[in-house]
Amino acid sequence: MHLIKRTSLLVQRHCSCDKLRFVTRYSTATATSHSTIQDEDIKPFHQIPGPKGLYTVPYLGSALQFKPFSPYTIDDIITVIENNKNKYGDIMRLRLGKDFVVFISHPDLAKVVFQYPYQEHVRVGLGILEIYHKRTGVKKGLSLLQGEEWLALRRPAQEKMLKPSVVADYVPMIGNVTNDFVKRLKQQKTVTDLLEELMKYTTESVGMLCFNKRLGCFESSSNTRLIKALEDMFTTMQQAFLLPFPTYNFFRTKLYKTFERSQQVLDEVTHKEINDQVMVLKKLEEDGKLDEYLSKDPNFMHSLLSDPRMAKEDVVGLVTSLFGGGIDSTANGMAFVLTDLALNQNKQEILNQEIQAVLGDQQTVTKDHLSKMSYLKACVKESQR
């Protein structure tokens, strides 16, 4: 099994390490444990399989992967990666922009990377987001921080939302959103763009968690500005990451302007909802009703605002990161799970039987129900693996 010195890599993770343990052509058909590899098996970084020659030149190497030098556009990046993976194996490197990116395509290999202590990991810098914060002066959120600075902001979120035992308390709130989402799908009968629908669902769900408020994403005339901004933000962020040369570093390009507008909408919505929630909590406290209010449902915002470790600007940065990042990652994760189930209908039927057995005639899912759905948990884990 490969191990990375100093800086660990995964898909789309930059590498600045000198040496890497790796299996030259790791076959997915013969996946085995390689934990017995010794130090003498460490090979130089340049021996990782991947395109050679001009393809290794900064910026030029990326450009050669796309038109007019190949039949592919930036939107075909997954095909480009898949073609290289089939040619070079489950550990291969590509030059993207000025950096090499090492792609790990086997779950057993990825497991070792993830098991390394966080001190060994350097998160990929999102260049266009860094430039946005530099030009606007907006304080960086969780997604751009590293090391101890990242951990100091991450820890409150981990304690208050990201532990399974804590997440379970939010099930009734998300259950109501889910029921409305299912009703929406039934009314539509045919879904033309599943990922778009999942984006609306996750935006509504994550908004409920972050702001204790429904954002109205299922209403045709409501929050279309927010949904459009989120779509533009994720699209331009991907395009910026894959650009052969990041001209937005020097000029306010069309791509950058689109990203900036979308990020400003997200910041505006986040600030408004945080301020509204602060006013609600303040009014409840003045009326002596805050304890009663908090006893009914968990309130993530209140838990952050009342944390002595968190200044208000830290709360804003953290919630903005969780809101923006949670939407995209959850929607894509759900899309993968649903796709895997559609491609393995015998497993889909086993899952359906488990759900029917646990829920029976009940329409609302509770945390007790979820605790009994071991096959559902296994399906999600396998899809993520």
pLDDT, tens digit (0-9, with 9 covering 90-100), for 1-19 = 232 222 233 333 333 333 3
**Cis-peptide, bond into residue 68, ω within 30° of zero:** yes
- DSSP letters of 287-341? TT-HHHHHHHS--HHHHHHT-TT--HHHHHHHHHHHHHHHHHHHHHHHHHHHHHH
Q: Which two tokens stand for residue 118?
A: 């966080």
Q: What is d(CA 32, CA 45) in angstroms, rounded to the nearest whole number?
A: 22
DSSP assigned state of 9 = -
Task: Give the SS3 label for residue 182.
Answer: helix
- Rounded percentage of the chain residues whose pLDDT exceeds 90: 29
Backbone angles phi, psi at 130, to 5 degrees: -60, -45
The model carries a pTM of: 0.73
Q: Which two tokens stand for residue 235?
A: 């699209």
pLDDT band with cut points at 50, 70 and 90 for residue 256: very high
Higher pLDDT pick, 42 / 231: 231
pLDDT of residue 1: 28
Q: What domains sit in the chain, N to C, each tagged with a CATH number?
A: 13-124 (no CATH), 134-343 (1.10.630.10)
Backbone angles phi, psi at 313, to 5 degrees: -65, -30
- DSSP letters of 69-98? SSS--GGGHHHHHHHHHHHH-SEEEEEETT
For 55-85, the pLDDT digits (tens) are 999 888 988 998 899 999 888 888 999 999 9
Q: What is d(CA 212, CA 262) in angstroms, rounded to the nearest whole number?
A: 23
pLDDT at 308 over 70: yes
Question: Where are the alpha helices (H) located in 71-193, listed in sequence order?
Answer: 77-88, 107-115, 127-136, 147-157, 164-167, 171-188
Q: What is d(CA 261, CA 252) in angstroms, rounded to the nearest whole number?
A: 12
Give me the half-sphere count of Cα atoms (radius 13 Å) on the Cβ side of residue 23: 20
Q: What is the mean pLDDT of residues 278-303?
A: 87
Task: Give the SS3 label for residue 32.
Answer: coil
Q: What is d(CA 83, CA 89) in angstroms, rounded to the nearest whole number?
A: 10
Query: What mean pLDDT, rounded, does the chain reach?
Result: 81
pLDDT of residue 300: 84
Q: Cα–chain-centroid distance for residue 216? A: 23
For 183-223, the pLDDT digits (tens) are 988 888 788 888 888 989 999 998 888 888 888 888 866 56
pLDDT band with cut points at 50, 70 and 90 for residue 34: very low
DSSP assigned state of 145 = -
**Do 45 and 21 touch, CB atoms closer than 8 A?**
no
pLDDT of residue 108: 87
For 109-145, the pLDDT digits (tens) are 888 887 877 565 676 667 898 899 899 988 877 777 7
Q: What is the mean pLDDT of residues 232-244?
A: 84
Q: Which residues pair with 19 in a beta bridge?
A: 44
Backbone Cα Rg of the chain: 23
Q: What is d(CA 52, CA 382) in angstroms, rounded to the nearest whole number?
A: 34
Distances, alpha carbon 155 to alpha carbons 19, 291, 301, 310, in Å: 32, 25, 15, 11
